[in-house]
């Protein structure tokens, strides 16, 4: 019986030692597993990506896109940060150029009072940068409601931009309309259609 007790005691000591050894390895393994799990969780890189420096071409493309967005929703205050105070705007219609931001805003607001639901689509954008000057050109399709009729304009826009500090501003906005359509051509397009950042 004494031998049996000794064997059981020896086995239990061996079991305790084995349990201690396994526990010693299990804790770091569990910590490592937890660490690996944390590593595999998706990380939100959006802020890090936004903080990456942009090339001038990327910054200009963003400028044009944001300016078009503010132009479409009628936010003149936000739109102004993309235009030089002495901007020259040439619309796609037979009319004199608009010179200066304040004159452009008057023409723009007059146009908006006659139309609703305008949507501008930009495509085939090409940008060329030379130092602190650049140009961007693209095609557009502009669809708008005018006197309860849908009007559509297709054309080209060329913008000349200058770098002022760390941002690009539009100093010349020239649009050319290739064609326009309205149902039965019943409603004439209102005069003094100021161009958005490169639109009619």
Whether 98 and 12 share a structural domain: no
The residue segments making up the domain with residue 10 are 1-41
* Statement: residue 134 has pLDDT above 90: yes
Whether 120 and 174 share a structural domain: yes
* Tokens (6 digits) for 86: 């002495």
Whether 131 and 158 share a structural domain: yes
Whether 114 and 137 share a structural domain: yes
Whether 26 and 93 share a structural domain: no
Whether 158 and 117 share a structural domain: yes
Whether 106 and 145 share a structural domain: yes
- What is the model's pTM? 0.66
Whether 181 and 100 share a structural domain: yes
pLDDT of residue 180: 84
**E-state strands within the chain:** 83-90, 98-99, 115-130, 133-146, 149-164, 167-181
The total of structural domains in the chain comes to: 2
Average pLDDT of the residues in 100-127: 93
Whether 64 and 162 share a structural domain: yes
Looking only at the bridges linking them, the beta strands covering 167-181 and 83-90 are parallel
Whether 32 and 123 share a structural domain: no
Domain of residue 180, CATH code? 3.10.450.50
Average pLDDT of the residues in 149-153: 91
pLDDT of residue 49: 57
* Statement: residue 136 has pLDDT above 90: yes
Burial class (CB in 10 A: 0-12, 13-18, 19+), 156: middle
Please indicate, yes or no, if residue 111 is contained in any of the structural domains.
yes
* Statement: residue 161 has pLDDT above 70: yes
Burial class (CB in 10 A: 0-12, 13-18, 19+), 91: buried
Please indicate, yes or no, if residue 35 is contained in any of the structural domains.
yes
Please indicate, yes or no, if residue 116 is contained in any of the structural domains.
yes
* Statement: residue 7 has pLDDT above 60: no
Whether 71 and 136 share a structural domain: yes
Whether 27 and 61 share a structural domain: no
Note the pLDDT tens digit of each residue in 10-64: 444 544 443 333 334 444 444 444 455 555 555 555 565 566 778 999 999 999 9
* Residue 114 DSSP one-character state: T
Note the pLDDT tens digit of each residue in 167-184: 999 999 999 999 888 655
């Amino acid at each position: 019986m004494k031998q049996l007790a000794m064997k059981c005691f020896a086995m239990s000591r061996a079991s305790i030692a084995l349990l201690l050894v396994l526990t010693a390895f299990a804790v770091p393994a569990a910590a490592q597993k937890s660490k690996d799990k944390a590593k595999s969780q998706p990380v939100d890189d959006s802020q890090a990506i936004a903080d990456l420096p942009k090339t001038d071409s990327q910054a200009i493309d963003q400028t044009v896109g944001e300016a078009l967005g503010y132009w479409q929703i009628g936010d003149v205050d936000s739109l102004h940060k993309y235009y030089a105070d002495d901007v020259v705007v040439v619309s796609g219609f037979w009319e004199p150029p608009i010179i200066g931001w304040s004159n452009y805003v008057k023409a723009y607001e007059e146009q908006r009072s006659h139309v609703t639901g305008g949507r501008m689509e930009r495509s085939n954008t090409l940008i060329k940068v030379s130092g602190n000057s650049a140009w961007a050109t693209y095609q557009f399709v502009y669809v708008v409601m005018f006197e309860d009729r849908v009007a559509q304009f297709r054309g080209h826009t060329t913008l000349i931009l200058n770098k002022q500090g760390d941002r690009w501003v539009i100093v010349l906005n020239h649009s050319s309309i290739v064609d326009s359509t309205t149902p039965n051509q019943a409603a004439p397009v209102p005069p003094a259609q100021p161009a958005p950042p490169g639109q009619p």
